Amino acid sequence: LHKKILNQRDDFLHKNSRKLVDLADLIIFEKLQIEGLSRGKNRSKDMHDHALRKFTEFTIYKAERAGSAVEFVNPRDTTKECSLYHLPIKMGPGDRVHKCPCGLSLDRDHVASINILYKGLAKLDIPTENNFDLYQMEDGTLGLRGSACIDLVDYYWNAGSL
């Protein structure tokens, strides 16, 4: 039974890392301290630590074979900065919604994914103002034209969202 579950998880990770590589020529991940994530209150998930690491490894080797680039960025403060105007926002660990004085209101993981994209592009000296159009839609969600932007943790916990 344990082997079957392991095989199912690996199959899921392989299929979804393939989807991710097929979506983009550049993939930007947070450089997460996975061990630290599992030690927090109510977060003892050693199995998930291993799965996150495997997902990243599968994505890297598939991207290399496909000629895609993979970059890692420091996730520090990615949830605490407005993706539209880069204003600092005070948020506690339990706050799930990013509310900026500019009117932007999104899930903190969505905001982090966009900010991770910007950090990765800056790391590669790719100007974002000419290549990407960031806009707020009528329903309040933030759109990004010209790129696939996926936050690793948000993607993994919402499995199958691709």
pLDDT in tens, 55-110: 999 999 999 999 999 999 998 888 888 887 788 888 888 888 888 887 777 788 88
Contact 33, 138 (CB under 8 A): no
pLDDT at 36: 55
The whole-number pLDDT of residue 146 equals 47
**Per-residue pLDDT reduced to its tens digit, 128-142:** 664 555 555 555 555
How far is residue 103's CA from residue 105's CA, in Å, rounded to a whole number?
A: 6
| Model confidence at 3: pLDDT above 50 | yes
Task: Label residue 143 by pLDDT band (50, 70, 90).
Answer: low
The average confidence (pLDDT) of the chain is 75
Query: Is residue 160's pLDDT more than 50?
Result: no
User: What local confidence, expressed as pLDDT, does residue 159 receive?
Assistant: 45
* pLDDT at 17 exceeding the cut of 90: yes
Mean pLDDT of 32-52: 59
What stretches of 9-148 adopt beta strand conformation (E)?
Answer: 26-30, 69-73, 97-99, 105-107, 133-136, 142-145
